[in-house]
Amino acid sequence: MNAIFRLPRPRTARLVWRLGLICALTLCCAALPAQERATLRAHQDEVDAIAFSPDGKHFATSGWDRTVRVWDASNGKERYLFRFLRPTALAFARDGKQLLAAHPDGGSGENPGVRVKGWDMATGEENHSVLCGETGRILGFAPNGYLLALRQQSQRDGRATFLVKLAPPTPQKGYKLAGEQAQPVAAVAFSKDGRFVAFGDFGSFVKVCERDSGKEVLSFKAGWGHVWSLAFSPDGKLLASGTYERTVRLWDAATGKLWAEIEAPSRRSGDFPMQFSADGKLLAVRDGNDLRLWDVTKRTTRALLKGHTRPIQALALSPDGKMAVTGSRDNTVKIRDIPKAP
């Protein structure tokens, strides 16, 4: 008896086709390293600073176009636009009610110094503007936004790193951190609890000091070349350093003992930003045009997020560890979901 072959009915064929399409799309999506939520193109020049609000609902960006912009993290919509020279550092206050931005040339003539402005996040109104008496390159804000680190080089003070308290209504006079330095400082990092500050210099040394007293508690050589980047882990046990030799190293913050090395960034360059996730399990590092997410526990790369056409200048991870925001020399800001550990 001959076998009889029947073609599937049209409705059945469509169902099979749809199921096949769904399976194919599922496999394709599973292969993606991360989902890009949005690309923001409002900035008209390079983006070089990013900061998340403590609750993770908003983030701020600033760039060479002399603007500071505040965005809704959930949908990428712009909430506020502020105009302020060219800020090189951004920070939210610990309660998230104020955004601070600093510019290294806030005065001229008889009143040189660093200008710091603040805006109320509820109204968008400017509520803080001070001219710090100290001058120098801005290295960064402390976690609460009210302590500014400056690198200064002058005949009076030599090469020194100053901490300036920005408590309203006027900033308190800056004080030297660990005295005069043999080499200019290129990077600074504050521990999450605010007790310690680390800085790296042009001579490849990293020093850790008590923030309030300025007393040096640790010093070690971090490799070769300038130390361009530093980051404390949230628990303060690890300190990450990035040097001109294209190497990122993790150190025991108590002893200075090498803990791990990360794959070298793809190109030799100056400052490359990096940040630990809030749980300390990931370290995000600029790798040329890409963002490398390094699994601290497994000591391996979890993902390499591509998309920018020019080098990344700034990055920030959301407080819940689910989102990464990067700013680039291509004038764009990208919002991406961080892939979970396999």
CATH code, 108: 2.130.10.10
pLDDT value at residue 264: 61
pLDDT value at residue 69: 97
Question: Would 85 be classed as within a structural domain?
Answer: yes
Question: Would 239 be classed as within a structural domain?
Answer: yes
Ranges of the chain with pLDDT below 70: 1-34, 105-113, 133-137, 144-146, 150-182, 263-271
Instruction: Indicate the DSSP class of residue 244.
Output: T
Are the C-beta atoms of 145 and 93 separated by less than 8 Å? yes
Range of the domain at 141: 40-337
pLDDT value at residue 16: 41
Are the C-beta atoms of 325 and 43 separated by less than 8 Å? no
What is d(CA 253, CA 232) in angstroms, rounded to the nearest whole number?
Answer: 8
pLDDT value at residue 202: 83
pTM assigned to the model: 0.82
What is d(CA 140, CA 229) in angstroms, rounded to the nearest whole number?
Answer: 11
Question: Would 94 be classed as within a structural domain?
Answer: yes
pLDDT value at residue 134: 60
Question: Would 45 be classed as within a structural domain?
Answer: yes
What is d(CA 41, CA 65) in angstroms, rounded to the nearest whole number?
Answer: 12
Question: Would 260 be classed as within a structural domain?
Answer: yes
- Number of domains into which the chain is organized: 1
Q: Which two tokens stand for residue 83?
A: 């105009």
pLDDT value at residue 22: 42
pLDDT value at residue 267: 56
Question: Would 20 be classed as within a structural domain?
Answer: no
pLDDT value at residue 271: 65
Question: Would 4 be classed as within a structural domain?
Answer: no
Question: Would 16 be classed as within a structural domain?
Answer: no
pLDDT value at residue 176: 55
